[in-house]
A = this chain, B = another copy of it.
Amino acid sequence: MKIKDDQKYDRLIQAAIALLATGGLANFSTTKVAKQAGIPQSNLYIYFKNKQALLDTVFQTTIHTQSVAVVAELDTAAPITIQLANSIKTLYRFSQEHPQIVATIQVLMADVQLKKHLHLKQDDHENQQIQTLLTDGLQAGILRSTDLNLIRYFLTRPVFNYAAGVQSGLYPDTAQGLTDLIQMIMGAILQPDVYQEWLS
Chain A residues packing against B (C-beta within 8 Å): 21-28, 103, 106-107, 109-116, 144, 146-147, 149-150, 153-154, 157-158, 161-162, 164-165, 168, 170-172, 177, 180-181, 183-185, 187-190, 192, 195-196, 199
Copies in the complex: 2
B22 touches A112 (CB 8 A): yes
Which of A110, A158, A162 has the most B CB atoms < 10 Å from its CB?
A110
On chain B, the residues within 8 Å of A26 by CB distance are 25-26, 28, 111, 113-114
22 A/B residue pairs, CB under 8 Å, sorted by A: A22-B113, A23-B112, A23-B113, A24-B25, A24-B110, A24-B112, A24-B114, A26-B28, A26-B113, A103-B112, A106-B110, A107-B111, A116-B168, A149-B165, A150-B158, A150-B165, A150-B180, A153-B158, A154-B158, A154-B188, A184-B188, A192-B195
